[in-house]
Every structure is written in C-alpha cells, then in structure tokens.
Amino acid sequence: MAKITIIRKKGEDLAAELGLEIKQWFERRGAEVFLLENIAHHAEQSSLEGFIHQVPSDSLAVVVLGGDGTLLSVARLLTERTIPVLGVNIGGMGFLTEVSLEDCYRFFEDILGQRFEVERRMRLQAGLFRQGECLLNSTVLNDVVINKAALARIVDLEVTIDGLPLTTYRADGLIVGTATGSTAYNLSAGGPIVYPTAETIILTPICEFSLTNRSIILPGDAHVEIRVGAKATDVTLTCDGQVGCELQADDIVRVEEAPQPLFLIKSRQEDYFTILRNKLKWGQR
C-alpha cells in the first residue's frame, strides 16, 4: 500500500479543506494517507521532532499545500529525509509550489503510478559562531541573509572563500543563496537568475557602498565565511526568511553545501523557462 503524506499550511482554511479532499481522493485509490498541519517554525525542538516522526520515512511523496514559505519550512523539517516533495500552490508567486489547484490531481495520478520525475535541489548549511561557540545551525533551501535594521549604519562584512580573502562588503547586508533561491530575495537585490538544479552558491550584496562590488557565483563545494565588523549594531541573520537571530560584532557565519539535497517533483508539462516567463511576466506589455 502506497503511503502519502500531506502537509497543509498552518491556520489556512482553504488548505484544511483541500487537505481533507485530497486525503479522501488518495484513500479511494487504496493509499494510506497521513494528513498533518504544518508546525510553526519557532516551535520547541521536542515539537519539531514529534512532527517529523509523524512523517513515514517510506512515504511515496510529501504533498505540501500552501505557498513557497510553507514549502521552505517543510523542507527544513525534512532535512534528513529523501522523500520527494510536491508543492501545490495556494499562495502567491509560487516558484517552488508550482503546481496549481487545477492541475494537482493529474500529478497525484502520476505519483500513484510512479511516473513522476524529481529534481535535485542543493541546500545550504549555515552556522553562527560567537567566540568559538555554535549558537545556530540551520539547513536552508533558498538563502542565508545578513542585514541591518532600517536606521542602522552600513555594516562591514569580511568575506573569505575556502580560507582566501574575497572582500569586505560595506553594505546594508549580504545574501548567500542557492540556485533555487536565485528567484527570491537575490533577484530583488539585483542578483542573477541561476538554473535551479545548478550546484552553486551565490553571493549578492544588498545596497553595497561601492558600485563595483557585484554578485558572484561560486562552486557548490565552496566554504563561505563571513565575519561581522567590529562596529556593527542592529544586524540580523535570517535563514530562508523564517529562522534567525541577532548578530554581534565579530560574529562569524559559515555557509557551505548541506549534506542532503531536497528532491522536488517536477512538472512534466512546463519547463523552467516557461515558469519564468509566466511568473515574471516576461514578454508581456
């Protein structure tokens, strides 16, 4: 018997209604279904572990009902799992949750028939170190962001790559992202769009003081280390826009490729360039 896990957006009536409908649809076709409400990203560790244990490790697929934010949080919870994930978009832009409500049942048929393809998406591992102690360790799919408060002064961020000095950014912040995250905050900050299966690390400064400091694309196996300047105040570290903490002067943020990628079930009907044209309205007047 196939096992299907459905994780719906927390507190969303449409997601709750749709989750029950999809559960019944799968059950009528002989599948065993586990319907869960997504857990808050700030939940205690015991709650997070309890949630993960409710997701069978032998699930054929995890269906996420929500927007990109919901899928990002689920991806973080399933860090150690290799279960393929399908995002059904009931949110906004939907670069990750690219399947519409109108098309989702066609995808469900393919899942039960095991006719689907998956894309391997690189993830990042981010660690925050203060005086040698690790204060935060998080896996991200999109990006790790260091930025200052609205009224704070420009922050100095000293960056080294594989132990070699790159530069010291004097900026409002810095985005360290994946190819998957290239269409998120990175794009808004003027960074490049990178094909989502590319195993790269993108560094994009936010409002850099020097006009010559631009985005740089690094190989996926690069080790990035960022030291916060000695005069920094009101600076925050954020992982995938959901998990973060305040930074202090001389804190060190280390970012590298995570051990486990995320496997996304891909559309057999739309290629990535079609998605870009549709989501970003390219070619429209």
Distance between CA 191 and CA 271 in Å, rounded? 22
Q: Which of 68, 143, 172, 240 is catalytic?
A: 68
SS (H, E, C) 5-52: EEEECCCCHHHHHHHHHHHHHHHHCCCEEEEEECCCCCCCHHHHHHHH
Second CATH level (architecture) for the domain 124-257: Sandwich (2.60)
Q: If the chain, 285 residues long, is cut into consecutive pieces of 10 residues, what is the mean pLDDT of each piece? A: 93 92 96 91 67 90 92 88 91 72 89 92 97 94 93 90 96 96 94 96 94 92 96 92 91 97 83 79 76
Q: Which residues of 76-102 are buried (b: 16+ CB within 10 A; e: fewer)?
A: bbbbebebbbbbbbbbeebbbbbbeee
Distance between CA 93 and CA 87 in Å, rounded? 12
CATH of domain 3-122+261-280: 3.40.50.10330
Residues of the chain with CATH 3.40.50.10330: 3-122+261-280
- Catalytic (active site) residue 68: yes
- Neighbouring C-alpha atoms within 13 Å toward the C-beta of 187: 14
pTM of the model: 0.91
What confidence score (pLDDT) does residue 257 get? 98
What confidence score (pLDDT) does residue 272 get? 81
Residues of the chain with CATH 2.60.200.30: 124-257
Alpha helices in the chain (DSSP H): 13-28, 45-53, 68-77, 104-112, 185-188, 272-280
Q: How far is CA 277 from the centre of its chain?
A: 21
